[in-house]
Structures are given as C-alpha cells and as structure tokens.
Amino acid sequence: MEGIIMKDNKQVVAFFKALDSMLVKMNKIVDNSRPPLNGERYITDKELAQ
C-alpha cells in the first residue's frame, strides 16, 4: 500500500461496516441472554446497597 489511508478507502469502509454488524449481533446476544439460574436475575450486594 502506498500513501495515506483515508476514511473513504474501500477496505476501511468494509472494516467499519463489519464492526457495526458485529456490534448489532453482540447487542442481540446480550439482550437475549438468559442467566443459568432458571432464568432468574439476581442482584449483587453492590447493587442492593445502592
């Protein structure tokens, strides 16, 4: 590669599109995750103390 890589470079654009796609998928995983304790959500002692 020669010169300065700018934000409109095809590889840079593709890289950031891939990052955006991964972020969307990771957020879906977090939103749909179920805790292992029969689906119950428990608060920690720090959360309880607030």
pLDDT tens track for 3-15 = 898 989 999 999 9
Residue 3 lies in a domain: no
Q: Is 30 a member of any domain?
A: yes
The verdict on residue 36 lying in a domain is: yes
The model's pTM: 0.58
2 belongs to a structural domain: no
CA dihedral 17, 19, 25, 27 (to 10 degrees): -120
Helix (H) or strand (E) holding 16: helix 10-32
Residue 15's domain comprises 8-47
21 lies in a domain? Answer: yes
Q: How many structural domains compose the chain?
A: 1
Task: Give pLDDT, residue 32.
Answer: 79
The answer to whether residue 1 sits within a structural domain is no
pLDDT of residue 22: 98
Are 27 and 33 within 8 A, CB to CB? no
Categorize the per-residue pLDDT at 50 as very low, low, confident or very high, splitting at 50, 70 and 90.
confident
